[in-house]
Amino acid sequence: MAMGGASLGGDAANVAYRAVPKAKGRSSGFTLPIGIAAVAANPPSFDPDDPEFNIFEIANLVQNPPWNLQLGSVEAPSNDVVIDIGRDHLAVDLGDIRSYLPGTGARISAMQSSPGLSLGFGPWFAGVAVVAQYENNLHLNEPLRLALEDAAPFLPQTEYAVIDSGQGQAVAEIQTGAAIPLMVNGKNPREKGGMGLYGGVRVSLLRGLAYGDMRNVAAFATADTLFGSTPVVLDYTGDFRDAGPAGGGWGQAFDVGAVLVAGGFEMGVGVNHIGAKVQWNGREQRTVRDSVTGEYNAQVVNDDVSFSTSLPIVLTANVTRPIAGVLLAADVTHSDGVTQGHVGLERWIGPIALRAGGRIDESKALQGAAGLGTRLGPVGLDAAVASHGQSFGAAERGLELAVGLSFYH
């Protein structure tokens, strides 16, 4: 993280790295959940009648999971919300809350793979991993966006709606494959004059573990005259589909990668989840408002629905090169239409590693990071402070502190 999230190469993103000799002084590791500990020590109130209740804080926890320690707090907007109504007139002034609205739409998606448990036999390997993927799309229709963001008056004979749709799935990957040197010059490709070209393929048998999707629509329609003969009533419908482990079917995926090491220069390209599809058997439900009682009820529409899902292809390219005692690393990832870039520097001075980096995030904003590391034998301790743009509704960057352990090769 101190290097801006830049990758030094790993076999999860690029299977060919299984065949690349480990570089001396490189490490792998994980960050400690110090942010979760802080939240657990001072949990937010979920009771709306509690004066400490802050829905913005809760939403921030959902949007920006506190694995790392967040250096700052989420302040709720302090303004009143003003609604003006009259016959044929409705206007809403949200004040500062406007900045929290999604504009033409907000999308969040993430995919995370667990570290794979694998065994190798020469170039061959087999293992198991779990991948979790989710995405959510929030959309205000244009009339509602204008009414809430621009405080434009509501119009007659118009539907105002907010649509929130999301999907999440967890899939087990039973993996096998091979990674081999394709071309090698010298004993160590990282030595001066050395060179190595490595390639790898990985085939995964996929098994669905859990799946859920939903589409929520909250809407109201205005009549010929606003507040004329009928009141404006907010309505809600929700469509849900889910499947558990028993409903998880089978599928397949294919990964391929290549790495070139020439002296100090290293470059890798990996493509994961090619053709990844999973079959499911699940249940469809719909939540609707009872027109008589006004209560919302969930109704099972189909308790044995079959469908298939896919995992987004992930493209990863990375380069590393030491220059004058400084290790320079950069990478670019692309998945599901989103491209992110990272660049980082590392310099060891005695037992202390100084690191800095930056990244272009998903909103195309520049974020920075800096940190320190030290090691005692094969184990290292790292700390980093990084900026991010993930704080809920915040116009300014957020800061987070990460602490992690590294294991040196």
Partner 1 sequence: MRLMNGYVKMRAARPASMLIAAVVALMALPACGQRNVVLNVDVLSYMDATETEFNFGPVPALPGGFTTGEQSVVPEADINLVGNFADIADIHTVNLRIAIASESYSGDGADTLRFYLSEPGTDPRTTPVVMTVPLTLTASVADTTVTEITGDERVLGLFSSQAMKLAITTSLRGPSNGDALSGRVTITGIDATVIAGRKAL
Q: Which of residues 278-297 bind partner 1 (CB under 8 A)?
A: none
* Nearest CB to partner 1, comparing residues 387 and 390: 390
Write out the binding residues for partner 1, residues 382-401 only, by CB under 8 A: 382, 384, 389-394
Interface positions, 322-361, toward partner 1 (CB under 8 A): 333, 335-338, 340, 355, 361
Tell me the three state secondary structure of residue 344.
Answer: strand
Question: Site map for partner 1, 117-156, x if CB under 8 A?
Answer: ------------x------x-x-x---x---x--------
State in angstroms the smallest separation of the CB of 63 from partner 1: 5
**CA 167 to CA 373: how far, in whole Å?**
38
- Out of 34, 44, 63, 181, name the contact with partner 1 by CB under 8 A: 63
Among 41, 42, 43, 48, binds partner 1 (CB under 8 A): 48
Residue 375 per-residue DSSP state: E
Among 34, 36, 39, 111, binds partner 1 (CB under 8 A): 111
Using CB under 8 A as the binding criterion, the count of chain residues that bind partner 1 stands at 101
CB-side neighbour CA atoms (13 Å) of 264: 9
Please pick, from the candidates 71, 89, 156, 378, the single residue that binds partner 1 as defined by CB under 8 A: 89
Residues 227-266 that bind partner 1 (CB under 8 A): 227-234
Nearer to partner 1, 138 or 205 (CB): 138
Residue 306 near partner 1 by CB under 8 A? no
Question: Shortest CA distance to 10 belongs to which of 281, 303, 331, 365?
Answer: 331
Among 42, 73, 78, 293, binds partner 1 (CB under 8 A): 78
Smallest gap from Cβ 397 to partner 1, in A, equals: 11
CA atoms of 72 and 35, how far apart (whole Å): 12
For partner 1, the binding residue among 247, 248, 371, 385 (CB under 8 A) is 371
Of the pair 86, 350, the CB lying nearest partner 1 is at 86
Q: How far apart are CA 9 and CA 28, in angstroms?
A: 10
Nearest 5°: the CA angle 210, 215, 217 is 155
Nearer to partner 1, 100 or 307 (CB): 100
Q: Out of 59, 214, 267, 360, which residue is the one contacting partner 1 (CB under 8 A)?
A: 59
Q: Which of 21, 44, 102, 199: binder of partner 1 (CB under 8 A)?
A: 102
* Alpha-carbon distance values, 369 to 204, 270, 348 (Å): 35, 25, 17
Report d(CA 316, CA 147) in Å as an integer. Answer: 41
Interatomic CA distance for residues 122 and 379, integer angstroms: 27
- Dump the DSSP string for 250-310: EEEEEEEEEEEEETTEEEEEEEEEEEEEEEEEEEEEEEEE-TTT--EEEEEEEEEEEEEEE
